[in-house]
Amino acid sequence: MHRHGYVGRKFGRERDQRKALLKGLATDLVMHGKIETTLPKAKELVRYIEKLITKAKKGDLANRRMVIAGLTTQVAAFKLVDEIAPQLTGRTSGHVRVERTRLRVGDTAQMAIIEFVDELKAAPKAEVVKPVEKPAAAKKPVAKKEEVKA
């Protein structure tokens, strides 16, 4: 059997499980900025996340919907499109890096850290402005009724 023409790693999983694995890894990378996983998973995640970042940089409605479909949560998709992608406009590709770290103790699998190449700045959060309280209008004193003694 030949291996020609087959692209991508199988990870010993069915197609739907493999797709869910990549979606979960991509979502964690977007939310945390840096994750540690096995080297083959990290290398496959690079192919997956680069395509999502390219779509997020375009930012129109159709591409935004494709990014939402490619991640597990809408919060992560909105963060990628609205916060991360504008900071990555200086690059055309190569948005993430894979760095080998250690061998896992249980099965000696090669571990790797995958992270964004550019330093991502946290989006400035809007400060909550307290409404200015109007001075209380001078209330008229309520006249007390005189007590009638019987």
Strands 96-103 and 110-116: antiparallel
Greatest distance between any 2 Cα atoms in the chain: 114
> Whole-prediction pTM value?
0.78
pLDDT value of position 110: 98
pLDDT value of position 148: 61
What burial class does residue 37 get, using C-beta atoms within 10 Å of its C-beta: 0-12 exposed, 13-18 middle, 19+ buried?
A: buried
Beta strands in 18-126, from DSSP E residues, in sequence order: 34-38, 96-103, 110-116
- CB neighbours of residue 60 within 10 Å: 8
Spell out the per-residue pLDDT of the chain, length 150, in tens.
788 999 999 999 999 999 999 999 999 999 999 999 999 999 999 999 999 999 999 999 999 999 999 999 999 999 999 999 999 999 999 999 999 999 999 999 999 999 999 887 776 665 666 777 777 666 666 666 666 665
Specify the amino acid at residue 124: P
Element (H, E) at 41: helix 39-58
Task: Kindly report the CATH class assigned to 15-116.
Answer: alpha beta
| Short-list 86, 84, 110, CA closest to 99 | 110
Q: Where are the domains of the chain?
A: 15-116
